[in-house]
A = this chain, B = another copy of it.
Amino acid sequence: MCPHANGDSNLANPSEMVAIDLSNGSSSGKVNGVNGHTNGVNGHVNGASKPAEQRRNPYAPRASDFLNNISNFKIIESTLREGEQFANAFFDTKTKISIAKALDAFGVEYLELTSPAASEQSRRDCEAICKLGLKAKILTHIRCHMDDARIAVETGVDGVDVVIGTSSFLREFSHGKDMAYITKTAIEVIEFVKSKGIEVRFSTEDSLRSDLVDLLSIYQTVDKIGVNRVGIADTVGCANPRQIYDLVRTLRGVVRCDIELHLHNDTGMAIANAYTALEAGATHIDTSVLGIGERVGITPLGGLIACLYAANPEYVKSKYNLPMLREIENLVAEAVEVNVPFMNPITGYCAFTHKAGIHAKAILNNPSTYEILKPEDFGLTRYVSIGHRLTGWNAVKSRVEQLGLKLTDAEIKDATAKIKELADVRTQSMDDVDSLLRVYHSGIQSGELAVGQKEALDRLLRKHREGAMDSRDSSASRPSSPVPTAA
């Protein structure tokens, strides 16, 4: 039923596909943490130093938009906090450490861990990860409460992420506190964490259903007392991109500190919401591997990488070890017992497989025609599928050339018509297509076949199939191992 394990291949049946040669090598250079955010109004740093021509891409940020942080952001990777809230997640210490190390090697700037107040083991795991000596800064995520803050600062973390619900919904149905109380507690917790010399972020929860004036008021207050970041959280996962843009842009004018976004994905807009938040001046985005978290989770790491790479490939390549992405996704998928979704950006099943005839033709001429992501930058390969009824003769021609056969365009078109006819009954494997092309070619060579001679082609194909069966029958009596055995 499900042909793709999380494992080694992103293809159901590579035998149905033509692999395209990628000659311009792979990128492996990883430079981490080039663009330092300072705790203040964000300065633009363009990491890439490519010629202007190559960077002139219709998807790139508008040059005139000075708030835009598409090429100046940091990732707060929350697989070990938000991800632990995924229904299937149960991370033991060993798994947590291997995920933390992999994300650190990938190059994320921050790792966020479950509150040490959640359970005894959570506290011990937090301490263990702090002691690993990773390049990524370690954060833990706590309720806005002095009890939790006191436990958090003792674990050795580089920073504490504080959260409290400010929406009327959460104030009524969750904690029951009013804004004056929330503000007072926030100040107390922030000053306490700061007194320990570590970073502190203050986030509201369900920010988009909070009163805008309440929201701006508390953010301004905590900014004045020196919080490092304020966080906006779309806790219910229903914000839309222009709404996020407007809110972040408004907030950018109110606070001087960094701005973090935590975006749930209930309506499938969490990647786009992160993107527009960065356009509006946000500085930090929360992600988890494959997006795992409460319900359908949050902005997935891979999806965020995909859209930011599309906007500025050089910058993203300079910050992160992109070929590691698939391995990290497989690691987490295995830990929480899910499949990598078939339509996952970059690493999905067929993300680089081209099928329709007109697509295949253009891709073979120039991959940029239908691809904005270069598979080789992610350690992956491009495929063109040709054994189906939507195939086109240009894709077939490319295969004919790969097989070293000599056929005219008219002959290739004729052979393509036969492939389409057969594929109308069932999809043809690459072996089927190759056999047909070889039979067609030898028919032309021997003079037994010419363009348009359908019956002659059918006869040759039948003869070939019978021959193949005969040789299979006779081979049955021979040892099946291709390795010679000692006498």
Binding site for B on A (CB under 8 A): 1-6, 11-12, 17, 58-59, 84-88, 90, 114, 118-122, 143, 165, 169-170, 172-174, 206, 208-209, 235-243, 245, 265-269, 271-273, 275-276, 279, 290-292, 294-297, 300, 303, 306-307, 310-311, 334, 337-339, 341-345, 348-359, 361-362, 365-366, 368-373, 385, 388-390, 420-421, 423-424, 426-427
**Residues of chain B within 8 A of A5, CB atoms compared:** 1
**Residues of chain B within 8 A of A342, CB atoms compared:** 88, 338-339, 341
With A169-B368, A343-B265, A369-B206 in contact, do A120 and B88 touch (Cβ < 8 Å)?
no
- The prevalent SS among residues of A at the interface is loop
Cα distance, A265 to B303, chains bound together (Å): 10
Of residues A1, A296, A339, which shows the largest number of chain B Cβ atoms within 10 Å of its Cβ?
A296
Residue in B closest to A295 when the chains form the complex, CB atoms: B351
Q: List 11 A-B contacts (CB under 8 A).
A: A2-B2, A84-B390, A85-B356, A122-B424, A174-B365, A242-B245, A266-B345, A266-B373, A268-B345, A294-B356, A341-B344
**Residues of chain B within 8 A of A389, CB atoms compared:** 118-119, 121-122
Taking a contact as CB atoms under 8 Å apart, the answer to whether A306 and B241 are in contact is no
With A59-B240, A119-B421, A276-B242 in contact, do A350 and B268 touch (Cβ < 8 Å)?
no
Taking a contact as CB atoms under 8 Å apart, the answer to whether A343 and B343 are in contact is no
With A88-B350, A209-B58 in contact, do A343 and B296 touch (Cβ < 8 Å)?
yes
Taking a contact as CB atoms under 8 Å apart, the answer to whether A240 and B276 are in contact is yes
Cα distance, A297 to B348, chains bound together (Å): 10
**Residues of chain B within 8 A of A120, CB atoms compared:** 421, 424
Taking a contact as CB atoms under 8 Å apart, the answer to whether A291 and B390 are in contact is no
With A296-B350, A390-B118 in contact, do A174 and B291 touch (Cβ < 8 Å)?
no
CB distance from A312 to the nearest CB of B (A): 12
